Amino acid sequence: MDFLAAHGLPARWQGQPSFTFLQFDFANAQGFLQTWQAWQKDQKRSQRLHYLAFVSHKTPPACPHPDLAEFYATLIQNWPTLCKGFQRLHFVAGYVILTLIWGDTLNQLRSVNATINAIDLNAPTRPAHYKALWRLSSTNTQLVAYNNADAALQKSSGFGMVKHGDYYAGFCTRPPIDKSNKYPHQALIIGAGLAGTSIAERLASRGWLVDIIDAAANVATKSSGNHAGLFHPSASLDDNYAARLSRAGCAETQQHLQRLKQAKLEVFFGNDGILQIAKNDAQAVLMQEIAQQYPASLLKWLSQNDAEVQLGARPSHGGWWFSQGGWANPASICQANLARWPKRITTHFGHKVDRIHQTTEGWQAIAADGSVIASSPVLIIANATEALDLLTELELPLSKTLRSTSLIADFEHPKYNLSGSGYLTAAFQGYRCIGAAEIKDNDLNAAATNNLAELHALLPDLATKTTHSSRACYRPNSLDRLPLVGALHDPKNIPMALHQLHQIPRQKGLYGLLGLGSRGLSWAIIAAEVLACQLNNDPAPLEADLIHALDPSRFLLRKHRRSLKNLSTGLQQTK
């Protein structure tokens, strides 16, 4: 059987903005590699190729065919550490996107958020699989199966299957109603820090025209303006949302930085590893237990002695070694994000947005004198806690704390990045960054002293250091310490009966990317990718429950659920 011909390729993707393939078993990768090879050779190919596949092997298989050796080598070079959930890989400057899915097929299939063009049923299925597949279908969705054992289920799910030699194929004739938003590819972004410039770059890479506004004279003047910061995966005993998001975010950040570098843009970073040092003996015991749940290539527990060997300096306790962790200069990322697509991104620096206004055509950003700075069908608020001044009616649970980062002159050991009660970055331009103590009573000198104290708490034997300079900035926080990513709710039309996120009405064209906290480098890029996929109707890079955990309206839903619970309790007490 000709794998590509069975799916009507390459003809079906020609002239399309995007084409999405779902394969039930990645197997030896031959299907993906053949598809990638054919897509790359085709001059009429779609602008983007998404390939989603369920994997059952944590290590890559051997090259399936000599003709695919070049593509296989690139795949192996980028093969991720597989953990439960989605692992997204970007190839060909981000135009070929492979999403590897690890875990129970049915549960993970229910977590997919995409409209699929081609489905390859090359693995055993269950009846519930077809209901999940139907949810992902349109009239342009073709299913290919290699036997007719599920003919009745396929027919009841709306697929008109026809035998073609040794396989069966059919399009979905009764797809679900398409409720996705269809916007002109134009967006207005308020805020030019990591959040704003990252979503600008992600949309521009998809052909969108973007206007970005900031009151400052340049990018990254606030929390994104620190000398250096860290990014690394995270872990927890229950593999919670923050751990999963950090794992996906770190991988996305690394790939994004490499794409900027390959585009010959000036961006400063290093992937030299991070040691997260336990704060005390009790935490050290817990961290050892947690480390046993994760692959050593993701995180590895190092005893105090082993850590000393790794670092060349003795830490206060053992800790987690993240070989995939790194450091970056945030401002250089922001600048590179905008420089990546200069013809698609227009900047408006030195303009403070006083208010936003919705029109019949979209949204306007309005200055204090009443003039319109810019307008667009889509508005994305990405200016940290300053968003509260523009979105007063939404009552978003955002807060800020004033923090300090200090610079110290570079020294020999340890050369690696450290985190724990404080943090230490690798050297950049002759200085290492430590932080980030809270500033109290506007006393920046006291905060700098606290930064040095935290450094010596991490490395008790370190010779006394002095700070070169310190910087104050606000850290934007959310109530549950997760970012807010997605469509913003309409406070004037909230129904009384409210049980699920999809029941909450949203303001058309209004989105937020807020609350990155202390994890901007770990979360900004993946958050921007999530939002760009929502706006462009691309397959989501994260599982559905994790995306729901980032939904800005989650706090409103929790508030209504508490109200209903209190009402129910009150009614029971009056009986």
Which CATH number covers residue 49?
A: 3.40.50.150
> Is residue 249 a part of any domain in this protein?
no
In whole angstroms, give the CA distance from residue 401 to residue 95: 39
- Mean local confidence (pLDDT), 104-130: 95
* Same domain assignment for residues 321 and 460: yes
In the chain, the number of structural domains is 3
What residues make up the domain containing 86? Answer: 3-172
In whole angstroms, give the CA distance from residue 191 to residue 365: 12
- Mean local confidence (pLDDT), 466-479: 95
Q: 575 falls in which pLDDT band (50, 70, 90)? A: low
> Is residue 496 a part of any domain in this protein?
yes
- Mean local confidence (pLDDT), 23-46: 97
pLDDT for the residue numbered 60 = 78
Of 450, 475, 500, which marks where a domain is finished? 475
* Same domain assignment for residues 141 and 49: yes
Q: 498 falls in which pLDDT band (50, 70, 90)? A: confident
In whole angstroms, give the CA distance from residue 125 to residue 117: 19
Which of these ranges, 299-308, 402-411, 497-506, has the smallest mean pLDDT?
497-506
Checking if the pLDDT of 563 tops 90, the result is no
* Same domain assignment for residues 154 and 71: yes
pLDDT for the residue numbered 571 = 52
In whole angstroms, give the CA distance from residue 447 to residue 240: 31
Residue 476 in contact with residue 460, Cβ under 8 Å?
no
In whole angstroms, give the CA distance from residue 172 to residue 175: 6
Checking if the pLDDT of 58 tops 90, the result is no
pLDDT for the residue numbered 319 = 98
In whole angstroms, give the CA distance from residue 244 to residue 252: 12
> Is residue 257 a part of any domain in this protein?
no
pLDDT for the residue numbered 227 = 96
pLDDT for the residue numbered 314 = 96
pLDDT tens for residues 415-437? 899 999 999 999 999 999 999 99
Neighbours of 157 (CB within 10 A): 22
Q: 561 falls in which pLDDT band (50, 70, 90)? A: confident
> Is residue 60 a part of any domain in this protein?
yes
Tell me phi and psi for residue 422, to 5 degrees: -135, -165
Checking if the pLDDT of 59 tops 90, the result is no
Closest CA to 236 of 228, 247, 248: 247
pLDDT for the residue numbered 574 = 60
* Same domain assignment for residues 322 and 417: yes
> Is residue 256 a part of any domain in this protein?
no
pLDDT for the residue numbered 569 = 62
Checking if the pLDDT of 1 tops 70, the result is no
Q: What is the CATH number of the domain that holds 444?
A: 3.30.9.10
Cis check for the bond before 10: say yes or no (omega within 30 of 0). yes
In whole angstroms, give the CA distance from residue 363 to residue 573: 48
Mean pLDDT over the full length of the chain? 95
In whole angstroms, give the CA distance from residue 472 to residue 475: 10
- Mean local confidence (pLDDT), 540-566: 91
pTM of structure = 0.96
Q: 61 falls in which pLDDT band (50, 70, 90)? A: confident
- Helix, strand and coil in the chain, % to nearest 5: 35, 25, 40
> Which residue spans within 205-248 are E strands per DSSP?
209-214, 229-231
* Same domain assignment for residues 310 and 407: yes
Of 475, 507, 524, which marks where a domain is finished? 475
- Mean local confidence (pLDDT), 291-320: 96
In order, the DSSP letters of 335-399 are HHHHHTSTTTEEEEET----EEEEETTEEEEE-TTS-EEEEESEEEE-SGGGHHHH-GGG---EE
As a whole number of Å, the CA-based R_g of the chain is 25
pLDDT for the residue numbered 290 = 97
* Same domain assignment for residues 101 and 199: no
φ/ψ region of 274 (left if φ > 0, alpha if ψ in -120 to 50, else beta) reads beta
